[in-house]
Amino acid sequence: MSRDARNGPRADPPPEAFARAVAAVRSVPARPGVAVEETPAPQRLAPYALALTGNVLVDGDEAASGRLVLLHDPEGHEAWEGTFRLVGYARAALEPEMAADPMLAGVGWAWLVEALGARQAPYAAASGTVTRVASESFGGMSDEPAAAEIEIRASWSPLEAEVGPHVEAWVDLLRTAAGLPPVVPGVVAMPTRPARASRASRSTRGARPVRPERRPPRSR
């Protein structure tokens, strides 16, 4: 649905560029083990928006989850360096010892960059954060195992209205974060903890979101 950034839902039809982008998103084929569906989009980030949620299940447990929002402002946005912007999020459980790896953040960001590159999805003005969350229980909860998660928050501007490859790259990111074999060459998954993903999610629920930081733009 199209939305007015100030007044909520718009009654007028969306511009052709956004309609083509939405069609491209909806034409992305399903990936094994990943459930993707549309969800209500933010109303105040851009005049037009479309949002997706994704979940990766391994042996019946949630191994990774995420969200992708497509934003469009026909008048353009200086920070976007264009008229489209993608805002992505991915979260996955990890083995606790992996959370202490000083290279984890860089590896997490590389998952996204390499997925975009493998899908030949050109972009600009990329920025984001990679956060590790670890928890350990004490007292009456001391029998609970230690848990850890990685959270990847990123935004980037597609250089073409054909955003399908960007959606595929985001799905690849979810699969890689979940520890599933990559579906494109050049992307290496890190060992994760899919069997205890649901418990890890509960242990970190309510953690304060991290605001994305501006980073130098990279092209895919």
For 181-195, the DSSP string reads PPSSTT--PPPB-GG
Joined together, the tokens standing for residue 49 give 């928006």
Q: Is the model's pLDDT at 74 over the cut of 60?
A: yes
3-state secondary structure of 131: strand
Angle CA 41–45–51, to nearest 5: 25
The answer to whether residue 14 scores a pLDDT higher than 60 is yes
Q: Domain residue spans in the chain?
A: 3-204
Q: Is the pLDDT of residue 32 over 70?
A: yes
190 vs 34, residue with greater confidence:
34
Q: How do residues 120-133 score in pLDDT, each as one tens digit?
A: 999 999 999 999 88
> What is the predicted pLDDT for the residue at 143?
74
What CA–CA distances, in Å, run from 25 to 19, 37, 70, 102, 219?
Answer: 10, 11, 9, 35, 21
pLDDT in tens, 181-201: 766 555 444 444 433 333 333
Q: Classify residue 181 as exposed, middle or buried by CB count within 10 Å of its CB (0-12, 13-18, 19+).
A: exposed
Average pLDDT, the chain: 80
- pTM reported for the whole predicted model: 0.76
Element (H, E) at 64: strand 61-77
Quote the pLDDT of residue 184. 57
Lowest mean pLDDT among 15-19, 45-49, 215-219: 215-219
